[in-house]
Structure 1
Amino acid sequence: MPPADVLPPESEVPADDPGPLLTSGTSADVYALDDARVLRRYREGRDATPEVALLQHVTAHGFPAPAVLGASGSDIVMERVHGPTLLQALGAGEVSISDAARVLADLHARLHAIPAPPAWVAPSDRDWPVLTGGPVVVHLGLHPGNVILAEPGPALVDWATARSGTPELDVAVTAVMLAEVAVDAGGDYSQAARALLAAFLHASDVSPLAALDDASAMRAVDPALVPGERELVPDAAGLVRTLLELTAG
């Protein structure tokens, strides 16, 4: 695997016109280079080195994530993973809620079996006030929209928020994300999200209860949330707590 600051010749991309835009996130855009490669380009010059290092680490351990083909500065050229997202498959009725919950729980379990790289340094350009590190790799964004149902099996994408942490925190963040949709009374998917949340908590081998306050605190300051969404976080955490108490009872 080439160093993070070296871009192999076959992975070179135009500086200003990389290709069709596939998707845009809070801090990065993803472009299609060709059928086999995409370019993830951070806006505002964010250094992609920490993300590259974690991606290379988890794929070296056999975890299903896009392979890094090259990187330079704020650019990452990576394998293009084909298939619908788990969210799209759920919406189309192609995957059941129970099966989707098992996919999420299985990806968590597989990821948390990977020890955090000992020399990895978290990026300094994003504030995680309650995240102090931990023994394993965590994604902190493992939700149906970031899972692609590729032909070889589900793959996890968008590693911008990945860190070292604890399994409890990672599972708690996923639970709160699902619960935010569930408590949105005006949302079209609130009932389905509540069912998926309950199924996910049942399928997970890790209880998120001890990390629930930290997870909700992180979500409350997530720059991806707009004010209306941010207001859902306390009720979302309350729903997760209620479902956990019902399960324990």
Structure 2
Amino acid sequence: MHPGDVVPRGSAPPGDAPGHLLTSGSSADVYALDDERVLRRYREGRDATPEVELLRHVRTFDYPTPDVLRAEGSDIVMTRVHGPTLLQAMTAGEITLADAAQVLADLHGMLHAVPAPASWRLPQDRDWPHLDGGPSVVHLDLHPGNVVLTENGPMLVDWANARTGTPELDVAVTAVLIAEVAVDAGGDYSQAARALLAAFLHASDVSPLAALDDAAALRSVAPGLLPGERELVPHGAELVRTMVEITEHP
């Protein structure tokens, strides 16, 4: 989680761009088609069908995420959501760290109440290693840069890593993501991230401790991480472990 999760990291749109480039991630670009629709397009031609299936499934449970309007191949056309990201709102001082942490915890809680669809299967060409799955839908990238504060409340976007799994793993991945920023001694947001992490662990009803090693393993092979960022993962996981143990065994 860093400003690059919100602002494109110097990438230029291709010549056949279908609209204004809103943001770029490690594997996909998001374009504004008009004021009501966006196009999420995977750059390497990845089949978006499994992601679409999960998105449509969680929407049947009224989970706050954009609707899929159309999907074909590596393209997903979705409703466009308007508002600052949670990260932008925190940076601007528009929301307290405690309230931001509660937003993250609430989005986790609502998502983990959604049962895994029985027919869904993880495709074999995903970037991350295979996991055994679990009883719930999990996002595995739920951080402030992927939460948009709309007029109707927070909405979760960017479901590229979503799959079935356990609440413990999902919470652990979020904790490690925040902790990576906290342990970056030269970063502008390290102190705020440490405070956010403490508030998130306090707000969450799920302890990440049992899944912390798996979360760190996933983060260590996440596509798009630079070498310096990758080195922060074990230190971030250790910070999470220390904070959880202090909280659970004061």
TM-score normalised per structure 2: 0.92
How many Å apart are 1:124 and its aligned residue? Answer: 1.9
Instruction: Tell me, in whole angstroms, the C-alpha distance in 2 between the residues paired with 1:74 and 1:220.
Output: 25
Counterparts in 2 of 1:105-184, with a 5 A limit? 105-129=105-129, 131-184=131-184
Q: Indicate the RMSD between aligned Cα atoms, in angstroms.
A: 1.1
**Alpha-carbon distance change, 131 to 137 in structure 1, aligned in 2, over 3 angstroms:** same
**Alpha-carbon distance change, 237 to 130 in structure 1, aligned in 2, over 3 angstroms:** farther
Runs of 4+ more than 6 Å apart: none
Counterpart in 2 of 1:228?
228
Contact 1:147 1:156 in 2 (8 A): yes
Counterpart in 1 of 2:43?
43
Show structure 1 runs of 5+ residues with no match. 1-14
How many Å apart are 1:121 and its aligned residue? Answer: 1.5
Counterparts in 2 of 1:1-249, with a 5 A limit? 16-129=16-129, 131-248=131-248, 249=250
Contact 2:183 2:190 in 1 (8 A): yes
Contact 2:133 2:164 in 1 (8 A): yes
Instruction: Tell me, in whole angstroms, the C-alpha distance in 2 between the residues paired with 1:154 and 1:100.
Output: 10
For residues 23-66 of structure 1, the C-alpha deviation after alignment (integer angstroms, 9 at most, x for no partner) is 11111100000000000001111000001000000011100001
How many Å apart are 1:130 and its aligned residue? Answer: 5.5
Show structure 2 runs of 5+ residues with no match. 1-14
Instruction: Tell me, in whole angstroms, the C-alpha distance in 2 between the residues paired with 1:80 and 1:234.
Output: 36
Instruction: Tell me, in whole angstroms, the C-alpha distance in 2 between the residues paired with 1:191 and 1:238.
Output: 16
How many Å apart are 1:126 and its aligned residue? Answer: 1.7
**Alpha-carbon distance change, 119 to 77 in structure 1, aligned in 2, over 3 angstroms:** same
Aligned length: 235
Q: Secondary structure at the match of 1:141?
A: coil
For residues 127-172 of structure 1, the C-alpha deviation after alignment (integer angstroms, 9 at most, x for no partner) is 4336210010000000000000000000000000000000000000
Q: Secondary structure at the match of 1:70?
A: strand
Counterpart in 1 of 2:9?
none
Instruction: Tell me, in whole angstroms, the C-alpha distance in 2 between the residues paired with 1:160 and 1:149.
Output: 20
Contact 1:98 1:196 in 2 (8 A): yes
